Amino acid sequence: MELKRLLYPKSLAVIGVSKHNDSHPANVVYYKNLLRFPVNVYAVNPKAGMLKGQHAFANIKELPEKIDLAVIASRAENVPMILEDCIEAGAGGAIIISGGFSEAGRKDLQERIADIAKEGNFPFIGPNCLGILSPNHVDTFFFPSERVVTPDEGNVALISQSGGVLVDQTIRFRAEGLGMSIGISIGNKAVVKEKDVLDYLSNDPKTKVISFYIEGFERNEGKDFMEAASNCKKPVVILKAGKSPTGSKAVSSHTASLSGDYTVLSSILKQNGIVEAKNPLELLHFSEVLSRYDQSIQGNIGIITGSGGHGVLASDLCSEMRLKIPSLTKDEQDRIRKEMSPTIKNIATFTNPIDLTGSAVDIDFVNAATELGLIDSVDCLLVLLLPYVPGMTVDLGAMLSRVYAKIKKPIIAYVPRLEKYQMIIEGFEMNGVPVAHSLEGSVQMAAALMNYNK
295-451: CATH, from 3.40.50.261, 3.30.465.10, 3.40.190.10, 3.90.1300.10: 3.40.50.261
| Max mean pLDDT range (41-50, 216-225, 336-345) | 336-345
Q: Domain spanning 1-127: which CATH class is it, in words?
A: alpha beta
- Confidence category of residue 248, pLDDT binned at 50, 70, 90: very low
Instruction: List the domain boundaries for the chain.
Output: 1-127, 149-292, 295-451
pLDDT score of 262: 67
Q: What's CA 326's distance to the chain center, in Å?
A: 32
Is a pLDDT exceeding 50 seen at residue 250? no
pLDDT digits (tens, 9 = 90+) for 164-184: 999 999 999 998 989 999 999
The chain-wide mean pLDDT, for the chain, equals: 92
pLDDT in tens, 119-160: 999 999 999 999 999 999 999 999 988 888 899 999 999 999
Q: Which residue has the higher pLDDT, 348 or 405?
A: 348
Same topology for domains 1-127 and 149-292, yes or no?
yes
Predicted confidence band at 256 (pLDDT cuts at 50, 70, 90)? very low
Strand order in the sheet with 94-96: 49-51, 54-57, 40-44, 11-15, 69-72, 94-96, 124-125
257: pLDDT strictly greater than 70: no
Q: How many of the other CB atoms lie within 10 Å of CB of 179?
A: 16
Q: What is the pLDDT of residue 454?
A: 67
The model's pLDDT over 311-340, given as tens digits with 9 standing for 90+, comes to 999 999 999 999 999 999 999 999 999 999
Three-state DSSP state, 200: helix
The domain made up of 149-292 is a member of CATH 3.20.20.60:
no
Beta strand pairing call for 153-160 and 11-15: unpaired
Range in 20-34, 112-126, 213-227, 298-312 with the lowest mean pLDDT: 213-227
